Amino acid sequence: METKKSSEFKKKSIFYKISEVLVTMASKPSGFIGLSILFFHILLAFSSPYLAPYDFKAIDPSLMLQAPSSEYWFGTDSLGRDVFTRTIMGGRTALTITFFGSLIALLWGGLLGIFCGLVGGKVDDVVMRIVDAFLSIPWILAMLLIVSLLGTSTEVLIPALGFFYGKGIVRVARAATHDVIAKDFIVSARARGHSNLSIIWNEIIPNVRDAILVEGAMRWSWMLLGFSSLSFLGFGVSPPTPDWGLMISNARGLMSFAYWAVIAPIVGLSSLIIGINLTADAFAKALGIDRSTKAPV
């Protein structure tokens, strides 16, 4: 009969699982590119204060709109600030705020979605109609309202972004829960008399976790774009903090003769979004493959 060694089936630690997923993601070209871009950006965000050749807020009118040169690699902007310095530092705020924003979105969206999926009935109906109502409000208008009332501090931006981007996650989490809820192991847990909380934690979350995480990763890139739009409109980061959205906004009027001041932040922003998107795709595929793995052949 079966004589496979038990070591083959040892329960794997969480770190091992994560590294396994990362290796799977990096084994495809698109996943590798995405991961490299993302890691590059994260690394840059951490190290840019030490790498920056100039002070990001040093204004010097004599150096206004200089073309790229060996001294100022990406040229200077309309206030004479070094574009290279500002570009490598411009992702820091955006990355931090949107990362924590996505975490909040994941948490509340995921939990509410799972809860609605499990409980069903009237509660589900009412909550979902409220979520639908919020989905119908243009998020940027609502954000502008919140920001103009409460200010543009990080403490306001993170929960506000988290709230608006969590609405979509509610729907995904609820749908994923619906898939699981009909399975017999949930019925079995109910028949044994487990509480709703225990069913959510033990039976549902392990089965919907992947779907929600992938959705969260996608939301992160959308939120980044949204946050940059806010900055572009002047409601995100306040000057003189370097930020891509703000930089694009400031330099766009001069695009016809000082293209460098616009191009650098655009490349920064779009490469990060592309990187996150590719990573999220590879992440989804890696988890998908993992889920369908059968007994080792």
Partner 1 sequence: MEEIIQKVKNLSVGFKSQKGHEISILKNITTDIKKGETVGIVGESGSGKSTLALAMMGYVKQGLYKMEGECIFNSSNLLNMNNRELEKIRGRKIAMIPQNAGQSLTPNLKIGYQIDEALKLHTSLNKNDRDKKISELLNKVRLPSPETIALRYPHELSGGQQQRVAVGMALAGNPDLLLLDEPTTGLDVTTQAHVLELLNFIAKDTGTSMVYVSHDLGAIAQVSDRIIVMYSGEIVLEGPTRDILQQPIHPYTYGLLKSIPKLSLAGLPDSMPGSQPQPGTKKKGCSFYDRCNLAEDKCKKNSPDLEYINELKTSVRCFNYKKLIKQKSENQSNIKRNEKNIKVNEILNLTDVSISYAKQKLLDQIFNKITDTNPTVKDINIDINKGETIALVGESGSGKSTILKSIAGLLRTKEGKIKFDKDRVLSNDVKKRNSSDLRAIQLIFQNPDESLNPNHTVEEILAQPLKLYFGLSGEELKQNIIELLEKVRLGKFYMSRYPRQLSGGEKQRVAVARAFAAKPDIILCDEVTSALDVSVQAAVLNLLQKLKEDFGTTYIFVSHDLAVVRAISDRVAVLYQGRLCEIGPSKNVYKFPSHPYTEVLLGAVLEPDPDIKPKLVAEDIVEDKPPEKGCCFQGRCPRFLGDQCKNETPPWQIGDNGNAIRCHINIKDLEKKQNGN
Q: Which is nearer to partner 1, 141 or 191 (CB)?
A: 191
Residue of 188, 201, 267, 288 interacting with partner 1 (CB under 8 A): 188
Cβ contact 262:255 at 8 Å? yes
Q: DSSP states of 24-44 as a string?
A: HHHTSHHHHHHHHHHHHHHHH
Cα separation, 203 vs 68, in Å, equals 58
Is 155 an interacting residue with respect to partner 1 (CB under 8 A)? no
Cα separation, 273 vs 270, in Å, equals 5
Q: Please state, as a whole number, how many other Cβ atoms lie within 10 Å of the Cβ of residue 230.
A: 24
Tell me which H or E stretch contains 182.
none
Residue 187: CB minimum distance to partner 1, A: 6
Is 1 an interacting residue with respect to partner 1 (CB under 8 A)? yes
Q: Which is nearer to partner 1, 20 or 71 (CB)?
A: 20
Buried b (16+ CB within 10 A) or exposed e, 203-224: bbbebbebbbbbbbbbbbbbbb
The two structure tokens encoding residue 142? 């609502």
Piece in contact with partner 1 (CB under 8 A), picked from 78-86, 112-120, 143-151, 184-192: 184-192
Residue of 148, 185, 239, 253 interacting with partner 1 (CB under 8 A): 185
Q: Any bridge partners for residue 82, and if so which?
A: 76
Q: Which is nearer to partner 1, 190 or 285 (CB)?
A: 190
Q: Which of 199, 209, 225, 206 is nearest to 277 (CA)?
A: 225
Cβ contact 81:57 at 8 Å? yes
Is 191 an interacting residue with respect to partner 1 (CB under 8 A)? yes
Q: Which is nearer to partner 1, 153 or 202 (CB)?
A: 202
Radius of gyration of the chain (CA): 23
Piece in contact with partner 1 (CB under 8 A), picked from 4-12, 102-110, 129-137, 162-170: 4-12
* Amino acid making up residue 252: R
Is 187 an interacting residue with respect to partner 1 (CB under 8 A)? yes
Residue 183: CB minimum distance to partner 1, A: 5
Cα separation, 22 vs 162, in Å, equals 26
> Mask: binding to partner 1, 204-223, rule CB under 8 A, as x and -?
--xx----------------
φ, ψ for residue 82, nearest 5 deg: -70, 120
Residue 10: CB minimum distance to partner 1, A: 6
Residue 34: CB minimum distance to partner 1, A: 23
Is 141 an interacting residue with respect to partner 1 (CB under 8 A)? no
Residue of 82, 203, 215, 281 interacting with partner 1 (CB under 8 A): 203
Task: Count residues near partner 1 (CB under 8 A).
Answer: 28
Q: Which is nearer to partner 1, 188 or 270 (CB)?
A: 188
Residue of 33, 140, 189, 266 interacting with partner 1 (CB under 8 A): 189
The two structure tokens encoding residue 131? 């979520």
Residue of 9, 16, 39, 40 interacting with partner 1 (CB under 8 A): 9
Is 149 an interacting residue with respect to partner 1 (CB under 8 A)? no
Q: How many helices (H) and strands (E) does the chain have?
A: 12, 0
238 conformational bin, left if phi > 0, alpha if psi -120 to 50, beta if neither: beta
> Residue numbers of the site for partner 1 (CB under 8 A)?
1-2, 4-6, 9-11, 183-185, 187-194, 202-203, 206-207, 291, 293-295, 297
